[in-house]
């Protein structure tokens, strides 16, 4: 993409959208949002960056291979279900801990781990498709 305005704005837009995607992911437990929609927002952010600066830049920026990210997400989601094994409750039962970090009580749960896994799976798999399509389109 040749447009100077777009190329200048794209990094800011991408970082804002990535931040927003994480916000959507975290608010998903009790309000609209969640891993899937958050992941899609993150992928759109990456796609915008790819249109502006080329696919190679995006691949360098996310460091890991998109499919490796998806694999890590799938692993996290499976582990989130399997933790219940040690608590003697059925698969996928939500387990909560409330650690206090710097005096603030942070509720953490296997549900959140699962949702983070979904987020990573969506980011990895969809961005892999999107990036390969962009690569082809650029030829």
Residue ranges that bind another protein, judged by CB under 8 A:
36, 65, 67-68, 70-75, 77-79, 81-82, 84-85, 88-94, 125-126, 129, 132-133, 136
**What is the nearest approach in angstroms of another protein to the Cβ of residue 103?**
26
Rg over CA atoms, the chain: 17
What beta strand segments (E) does 43-139 contain? 96-97, 100-101, 104-105, 108-109
Q: How many CB atoms lie within 10 A of CB 70?
A: 22
Q: Which is nearer to another protein, 6 or 111 (CB)?
A: 111
- Judged by beta carbon, residue 22 or residue 68, the one nearer another protein is 68
Contacts of 99 (CB under 8 A, 6+ apart): 105, 106, 108
> Which of 17/117 has CB closer to another protein?
117
- Cβ 33 to another protein shortest distance, Å: 13
Q: Which is nearer to another protein, 20 or 36 (CB)?
A: 36
Rounded Cα gap, residues 32 and 75, in angstroms: 25
User: What's the closest the beta carbon of residue 113 comes to another protein, in angstroms?
Assistant: 13
In the complex, minimum distance from the CB of residue 11 to another protein, in angstroms, rounded to a whole number: 26
What are residue 104's phi and psi, to 5 degrees?
-110, 130
């Amino acid at each position: 993409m040749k447009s100077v305005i777009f190329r200048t704005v794209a990094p800011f837009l991408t970082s804002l959208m990535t931040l927003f995607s994480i916000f959507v992911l975290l608010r998903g437990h009790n309000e609209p949002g969640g891993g899937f929609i958050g992941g899609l927002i993150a992928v759109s952010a990456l796609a915008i960056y790819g249109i502006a600066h080329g696919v190679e830049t995006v691949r360098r920026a996310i460091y890991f291979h998109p499919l490796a990210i998806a694999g890590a997400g799938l692993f996290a989601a499976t582990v989130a279900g399997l933790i219940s094994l040690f608590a003697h409750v059925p698969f996928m039962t939500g387990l909560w801990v409330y650690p206090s970090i710097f005096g603030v009580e942070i509720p953490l749960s296997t549900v959140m781990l699962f949702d983070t896994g979904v987020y990573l799976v969506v980011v990895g798999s969809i961005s892999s498709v999107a990036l390969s399509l962009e690569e082809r389109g650029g030829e």
